[in-house]
Amino acid sequence: MPPLLKSVSIRNYPPSQEFPFNLPLIQNLGVVQFKKNITFFVGENGAGKSTLLEAIAAKMRLPAAGSESVDFDPSLEAARFLGRFLSLGQTIKTTHGFFSRAEDFIGFVKNIQRQIAELNREIEDIENTWQGGDITLALGPLKGEKQALINRYGGDLDAMSHGEGFLKFFLSRITAKGVYLIDEPEAALSPQRQLSLISLIRQKAETQDCQFIIATHSPIIMAMPEADILEFKEGQINPVSYRETEHYQITKQFLDRPEAFLRGL
């Protein structure tokens, strides 16, 4: 099946020197095509990777994986405005999927903990004030809701290692035929956990027709052979091979001769 999101372009945006319309990337943006179910955005910070990813999420009205909705998150105000001028080419229009940043995991954990704490308070209030009748009828729905949260997400996500918790969080939110926009997942993951994420993404893309667009600096994550890599550089977006990326070249040079590399700094 072809990717659910086939292309993105910008049209009729207002002339402005304000962010994000002052970015060379936005001013030069043509049609960005997605030919595979896995695409990586790579490039220096400030090149526009996250800005475009956030604007696509706003245009598609994808739910945020964290505690704030994309529609209301104040940090995404510029992305929402930019999203109004994006044109999307879609095989099937879908709101299945999510937009996620590494910091959203913390907000997600707090959200789940808050829901469980509220359910515990309601259960305790009923137990302390109940008079007569079968209390199990009153407690059943609350305990069932609490157990469903624990079964899906784990009773204490933040007690797990950060990487393990992130992967559990990630897996619990993925459904078939969804579009998943992920910004720098490596920030929450060790190298070993990055390999686990690769395995998960490959499986979901192949067996459940999920599409992943990921902004990353990780030479481990971007090594997936099934993926396309789009490089954001000097206000342009161009396809590159894995070995053409600066991330691969610098990492390889460093690992081949770390002492010599450091002496040359």
The residue ranges of every structural domain in the chain are: 5-104+176-262, 106-161
At 162, the pLDDT band (50, 70, 90 cuts) reads: low
The structural architecture, per CATH, of the domain 5-104+176-262 is 3-Layer(aba) Sandwich (3.40)
Location of structure tokens 């977006």 = 237
pLDDT value of residue 160: 56
pLDDT value of residue 3: 92
Residue pair 107/67 in contact by the 8 Å Cβ criterion: yes
Bond into 219 cis (ω within 30) = no
Question: pLDDT (tens digit, 9 = 90+) per residue, 72-101?
Answer: 778 788 889 999 999 999 988 887 899 988
Average pLDDT, the chain: 88
Question: pLDDT (tens digit, 9 = 90+) per residue, 175-228?
Answer: 999 999 999 999 878 999 999 999 999 999 999 999 999 999 999 999 999 999
Region 13-18: mean pLDDT is 80
pLDDT value of residue 93: 83
Q: Which two structure tokens, joined as six digits, stand for 118?
A: 């509220």
pLDDT value of residue 183: 93
**Per-residue buried b or exposed e for 194-225, using 16+ beta carbons within 10 Å of the residue's own CB:** bebbbeebbebbeeebbbbbbbbbbbbbbbbe
Q: Is 69 helix (H, G, I), strand (E, B) or coil?
A: coil
Amino acid (one-letter) located at 54: E
* 40: phi then psi, degrees, rounded to nearest 5: -110, 135
Instruction: Output DSSP code: residue 85.
Output: T
pLDDT value of residue 161: 53
pLDDT value of residue 154: 67
Longest dimension (CA), the chain: 80
Sheet of strand 211-215, all strands in order from the earlier edge strand to the far edge:
97-101, 179-183, 211-215, 38-43, 228-233, 236-240
pLDDT value of residue 135: 82
Residue count of the chain, please give it.
Answer: 265
User: Could you give the angle at the alpha carbon of 59 between the alpha carbons of 54 and 64, nearest 5°?
Assistant: 55
How many helices, marked H, and strands, marked E, lie in the chain?
9, 9
Q: Mean pLDDT check: name the lowest of 5-14, 43-52, 88-97, 99-108.
A: 99-108
At 36, the pLDDT band (50, 70, 90 cuts) reads: very high
Residue 7 pLDDT exceeds 70: yes
Record the pTM: 0.84
CA dist list (Å): 76 to 69, 71, 96, 101: 10, 8, 20, 12
Residue 156 pLDDT exceeds 80: no
CA-CA distance, 69 to 5, in Å (whole number)? 21
Which residues have a Cβ under 8 Å from the Cβ of 233 and sit 6 or more positions away? 43, 44, 47
Amino acid (one-letter) located at 166: F
Region 236-265: mean pLDDT is 92
At 157, the pLDDT band (50, 70, 90 cuts) reads: low
Q: Mean pLDDT check: name the lowest of 63-72, 146-155, 221-230.
A: 63-72
Dihedral, 187, 220, 34, 178 alpha carbons, nearest 10: -60
List the beta strands (DSSP E) in 69-225. 86-90, 97-101, 179-183, 211-215
